[in-house]
Amino acid sequence: MSAPAQTLRSDNRRELILESAAELFVRHGYGGTSMRDIAKATGMLSGSLYYHFASKEALLLSVFEEGVRLLSDAVDHALATSPDDPWERLQAAAQAHLSVLLDGSHFAQVVVRVLPGDAPGAQAELIALRDQYEARFHTVVDALPLTPDTDRSVLRLMLLGAMNHTPVWFQPGRATPAQLARHFIRNLRGTAAP
């Protein structure tokens, strides 16, 4: 009975550090955030972080993994429950992506804010994680019925770029992530007045 309680408490601690780190990485970037900043935000001393994470890069990696996990789970679930229409599937994926990204989850924002080059020691892992997640959009875009002269890669990267830019300008009151996703997809399907 006491063991699970302990585990829970320890998990809470770890969670708390991860959350504080994620928030600070988003706000000031990886290089602009110090272990002391993270410790202070957590109410600990900086040495104490090292009981939970071996290094700053390991901490970043954990944050990044959690962000990728949240995004992946959301998109996977959206695709699993979405109908067959290719454009609707893309919109479902976009909506899932934006929902996680804009609902205040700092984890997901770290994934699109911190570039692998920011942490040379973790570069390879960060790239692998990001690619592994983005593969989903590869699949979905490939299924779209497009005119032959449309470059599917450009379309995919365009959508990803547009979506990953949203944390910079998004304001909660104005539009929901779902509405944004609809806008994005509709724009991609054609916005010109006839």
Which chain residues interact with a copy of itself by CB under 8 A? 27-33, 87, 113, 115, 117-120, 145-147, 150-151, 154-155, 157-166, 168-169, 175, 180, 183-184, 186-193
End-to-end Cα distance, the chain: 68
Give dist(CA 183, CA 181) in Å, integer.
Answer: 5
By C-alpha distance, which of 34, 54, 28 is closest to 42?
Answer: 34
Q: Where are the alpha helices (DSSP H) in 32-122?
A: 35-42, 49-52, 56-80, 86-102, 106-113
Give dist(CA 25, CA 17) in Å, integer.
Answer: 12
By C-alpha distance, which of 13, 9, 108, 14 is closest to 58?
Answer: 14
- From the list a copy of itself, DNA, none, pick the one residue 57 interacts with, judged by a Cβ distance below 5 to 8 Å according to partner type: DNA
- From the list DNA, a copy of itself, none, pick the one residue 159 interacts with, judged by a Cβ distance below 5 to 8 Å according to partner type: a copy of itself
Judged by beta carbon, residue 77 or residue 111, the one nearer a copy of itself is: 111
Judged by beta carbon, residue 66 or residue 134, the one nearer DNA is: 66
The stretch near DNA (CB under 7 A) out of 55-63, 88-96, 122-130, 140-148 is 55-63
Beta carbon of residue 193, minimum distance to DNA (angstroms, whole number) = 51
Judged by beta carbon, residue 13 or residue 182, the one nearer DNA is: 13
Both tokens of residue 74? Answer: 């959301």
Of the candidate residues 20, 22, 23, 57, the single one contacting DNA (CB under 7 A): 57
Both tokens of residue 187? Answer: 């724009």
Instruction: Note the residues at the interface with DNA (CB under 7 A).
Output: 2, 6-7, 9-10, 13, 33-37, 43-52, 54-57
